[in-house]
């Protein structure tokens, strides 16, 4: 039974890793849609998001089954509870990529971004993909060192997010109000994506150390 | 032991109810700060937010203890797992009220809102308070009818949120780019507050029916 439990837990972890990677793929597709004004690739991002949500439902169901049938304790219990929370964060990362894709579709065939902000969003997208891959590594290895790399990336995203507000608030901004509102929201979507990656990293650290290194959600 | 378990579960539920109400109080304080450009009341909102986060940590710790010591099954297990998720949603509602308060503090002593949007935000705040109180009632009673009222309020908030975007995108908008970006973000904070209330309601319905009426997070 113990062996069965650990095999099931490994399978949960593998699916959590898949969810993280898929969230990065969804962010990449959504950003391509944003940069190329491409409705087809926006739809592809939304399909990624649906796959992530299906995985979340599966992870949640199996985690509750493990709690019911195996009544794990100590670090095994922490690992199962963490898997429910990590699945919620990875699902939310997918949801945020979905918001980017839907904003592209709402504005299509018009472009959402002014040219001078394309590079910033391309960099934010690459950071989102890197964070997602690092989250997968942290989840699969349970290693705090991997998890800490995610926190560094989260801080870098915050800097980019701030630079967008500086652009909007600059007297040189010439793209009007509606574009500014879109850029403010888009910046927040990428920023929150990174925050959730950071929360996954903190969950991994918590599992390893048992101490509540929860990221404050405020 | 069974009796002890149900007493502990009731205590968890009472704290979840408290978290919901406090999230509404935080939203009310944050909106007062927004409408009256009052830094002191913004700080009070941030103190509410810290209390909510402390309650979340306590609920999580006790829920994991219940899983470890009592190994509940069936509806008892669902109730304990739900309490962890509801605590996360209520904490996030507090966090969003905190974002409103911090935006007030960043712009202080300047006002954030144009006069013609004051009524909309006052209505959104009242809706946030109502949703929080309805969430408390749903959590304490476990009643789906109560929970469904929350979903109606969530839809009403979505309408208000949309009206803000219409205001920003209107040719009559005369408050410039920076204010538009602030209003877009504020609208999103209230909108997300209502979304999380809706997720709490879906959790309550799920507990009562056992069927996965999870709100899609995308």
Q: Which of these ranges, A15-24, A182-191, B16-25, B206-215, has the smallest mean pLDDT?
A: B206-215
Q: Closest Cα of chain A to B137: distance in Å?
A: 24
Is B49 within 8 Å of A218 when comparing Cβ atoms? yes
DSSP-derived letter for residue B215 is P
* Average pLDDT, integer, range B14-22: 98
Within 8 A of A19 by CB-CB distance, chain B residues are none
Alpha-carbon span B150 to B155, nearest angstrom: 9
Helix axes B2-36, B118-141, angle to 10 degrees: 170
Task: Count residue pairs from A and B with Cβ separation < 8 A.
Answer: 100
Inter-residue contact A93 to A132 (CB < 8 Å): yes
Is B181 within 8 Å of A169 when comparing Cβ atoms? yes
* Residue percentage of chain A with pLDDT more than 70: 95
Kindly identify which residue of chain A lies nearest to residue B174, measuring between CA atoms: A177
* Average pLDDT, integer, range B128-153: 93
The encoded tokens of residue B148 equal 């469904």
Alpha-carbon span A162 to B86, nearest angstrom: 31
Residues 6 or more apart whose CB falls under 8 angstroms from that of A28 comprise A125, A128, A129
The encoded tokens of residue A185 equal 């929201």
Neighbours of B128 (CB within 10 A): 28
Kindly identify which residue of chain A lies nearest to residue B54, measuring between CA atoms: A216
Coil, strand or helix: which one is B217? coil
Inter-residue contact B119 to B166 (CB < 8 Å): no
Is B77 within 8 Å of A92 when comparing Cβ atoms? no
Nearest by CB to residue A77, choosing from B67, B183, B212, is B67
Q: Which residues of A102-130 are buried (b: 16+ CB within 10 A; e: fewer)?
A: bbbeebeeeebbbeebeebbebbbebbbb
Phi-psi region of B37 (alpha: psi -120 to 50; beta: other; left: phi over 0): left
Is B85 within 8 Å of A81 when comparing Cβ atoms? no
Please give the pLDDT value at position A216: 38
Q: Closest Cα of chain B to A146: distance in Å?
A: 25
More confident residue, B209 or B129: B129
| pTM for this prediction | 0.92
Within 8 A of A73 by CB-CB distance, chain B residues are 68
Please give the pLDDT value at position B210: 64
- Which tens digits make up the pLDDT trace of A81-114? 999 999 999 999 999 999 999 999 999 999 999 9
* Average pLDDT, integer, range B12-37: 98
| CA B106 from centroid of its chain's CA atoms | 22
Interface of A with B (CB under 8 A): 46, 49-50, 53, 57, 61, 64, 67-68, 71, 73-74, 77-78, 81, 84-85, 88, 91-92, 94-95, 98-99, 165, 168-169, 173, 176-178, 180-181, 183-185, 188, 212, 214, 216-218
Interface of B with A (CB under 8 A): 46, 49-50, 53, 57, 61, 64, 67-68, 71, 73-74, 77-78, 81, 84-85, 88, 91-92, 94-95, 98-99, 165, 168-169, 173, 176-178, 180-181, 183-185, 188, 212, 214, 216-218
Interface confidence, given as ipTM, is 0.89
Please give the pLDDT value at position A1: 55
In the predicted model, what is the mean pLDDT of chain A?
Answer: 93
Nearest by CB to residue B178, choosing from A50, A169, A216, is A169
Inter-residue contact A33 to A122 (CB < 8 Å): no
Neighbours of B162 (CB within 10 A): 12
Alpha-carbon span B93 to B52, nearest angstrom: 9
Q: Is the pLDDT of residue A115 over 80?
A: yes
Alpha helices in B37-117 (DSSP H): 39-70, 74-107
Closest CA to B12 of B70, B79, B75, B68: B79
């Amino acid at each position: 039974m113990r062996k069965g439990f650990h095999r099931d837990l490994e399978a949960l972890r593998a699916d959590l890793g898949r969810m993280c990677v898929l969230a990065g793929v969804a962010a990449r597709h959504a950003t391509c849609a944003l940069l190329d004004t491409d409705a087809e690739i926006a739809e592809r991002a939304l399909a990624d998001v649906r796959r992530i949500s299906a995985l979340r439902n599966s992870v949640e169901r199996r985690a509750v089954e493990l709690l019911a049938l195996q009544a794990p304790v100590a670090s095994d219990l922490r690992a199962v509870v963490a898997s429910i929370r990590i699945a919620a964060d990875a699902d939310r990362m997918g949801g945020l990529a979905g918001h980017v894709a839907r904003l592209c579709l709402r504005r299509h065939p018009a472009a959402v971004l002014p040219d001078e902000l394309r590079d910033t969003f391309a960099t934010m997208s690459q950071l989102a993909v890197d964070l997602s891959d690092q989250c997968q590594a942290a989840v699969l290895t349970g290693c705090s060192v991997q998890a800490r790399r995610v926190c560094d990336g989260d801080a870098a995203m915050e800097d980019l997010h701030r630079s967008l507000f500086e652009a909007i608030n600059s007297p040189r901004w010439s793209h009007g109000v509606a574009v500014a509102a879109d850029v403010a929201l888009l910046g927040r979507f990428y920023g929150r994506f990174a925050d959730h990656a950071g929360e996954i990293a903190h969950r991994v650290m918590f599992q390893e150390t048992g101490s509540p290194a929860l990221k404050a959600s405020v």
